[in-house]
């Protein structure tokens, strides 16, 4: 299977997650309501969308870890004559590990998206918990902390004159997650987070 076909599976998870978070989410997520009633609400759809985005980020990160291993075996997984080339970046020993801890970037991505996913699932399970705002702020903080890392990796791409589509997909997932956490935090501060409580208060 072509590497871009596989990439489209990861991207599909992220795109579906984004759609769930938009006004289109009510339509594209209607089949989720029976299984997960909370997705009938805007909060539920945003959280579900964020779960899809984090899952997509996790799977694409796992894929880059696999590529890292395959390239170390001497194989070629995503090379080409165009600027879109993963081999030149994931296979480049100067750039393919996290400084100081010497572990592949893909592994860091897997850990990061798992942490984000844990935050989102916890909030989704207990949206009215005392710790919810802390969790949302932690998620926002973690995704903001990812920006300098993305900046470093993009600087490698600029230096080598190459773009790694798989890495870029993971970077985009982080940025979408950051925006989603911000939206959720704003939602929490408004009545949209728990409209039923608003009615009760009235």
Partner 1 sequence: MMNNLYRSEEASARGDAALIVISLFFAGLLVVAFTSNPIASGTQPGERAPIFTSKAYNGNGWETFVFDDLLTPEWSPNSTGDAPWIAVEFMDTDCGHCKNAAEKVGNWAEQYSSSVWDGPEVIFIAVSVEFVGDSSRSEIEEFRDSNEHTFVYVDDLGLDVVGKWDVGATPTYFLVQPDGLVAWNSGQTVNSIGWDADKEEVFPLIDYTQDNYIELNEAIEQLTKKYGGDSQ
| Contacts with partner 1, residue ranges (CB under 8 A) | 55, 58-59, 62, 65-66, 68-70, 72-76, 93, 110-111, 114-115, 117-118, 121-122, 125-126, 129-131
Nearer to partner 1, 115 or 183 (CB): 115
Token pair for residue 108? 């860091």
Nearer to partner 1, 59 or 174 (CB): 59
Closest approach, Cβ 187 to partner 1, in A, equals 19
Phi, psi of 60 (to 5 degrees): -70, -30
Nearer to partner 1, 47 or 140 (CB): 47
Closest approach, Cβ 26 to partner 1, in A, equals 25
Say if CB 141 and CB 160 are below 8 A apart: no
Sequence-separated contacts (24+) of 70-74 with Cβ below 8 Å: 71/96
Nearer to partner 1, 28 or 114 (CB): 114
Burial of 74 (0-12, 13-18, 19+ CB in 10 A): exposed
Collapse the DSSP code of 23 into the 3-class scheme (helix H, G, I; strand E, B; otherwise coil) and give the result.
coil
Closest approach, Cβ 78 to partner 1, in A, equals 14
The conformational region for residue 161 under phi > 0 = left, psi -120 to 50 = alpha, else beta, is left
Nearer to partner 1, 22 or 134 (CB): 134
Closest approach, Cβ 133 to partner 1, in A, equals 13
Q: Which of 47, 7, 2, 32 is nearest to 172 (CA)?
A: 7
């Amino acid at each position: 299977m072509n590497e871009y076909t596989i990439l489209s599976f990861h991207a599909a998870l992220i795109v579906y997650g984004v759609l769930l978070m938009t006004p289109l989410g009510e339509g594209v997520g209607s089949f989720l309501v029976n299984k997960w009633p909370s997705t009938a609400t805007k909060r539920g759809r945003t959280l579900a969308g964020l779960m899809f985005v984090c899952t997509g980020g996790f799977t694409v990160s796992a894929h880059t870890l696999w590529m890292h291993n395959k390239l170390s075996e001497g194989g070629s997984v995503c090379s080409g004559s165009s600027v879109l080339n993963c081999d030149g970046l994931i296979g480049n020993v100067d750039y393919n590990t996290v400084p100081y801890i010497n572990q592949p970037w893909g592994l860091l991505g897997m850990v990061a998206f798992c942490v984000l996913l844990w935050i989102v699932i916890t909030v989704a399970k207990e949206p009215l918990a005392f710790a919810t705002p802390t969790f949302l702020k932690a998620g926002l903080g973690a995704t903001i902390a990812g920006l300098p890392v993305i900046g470093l990796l993009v600087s490698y791409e600029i230096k080598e004159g190459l773009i790694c589509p798989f890495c870029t997909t993971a970077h985009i997932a982080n940025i979408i997650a950051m925006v989603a956490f911000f939206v959720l935090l704003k939602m929490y501060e408004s009545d949209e987070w728990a409209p039923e409580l608003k009615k009760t208060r009235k």
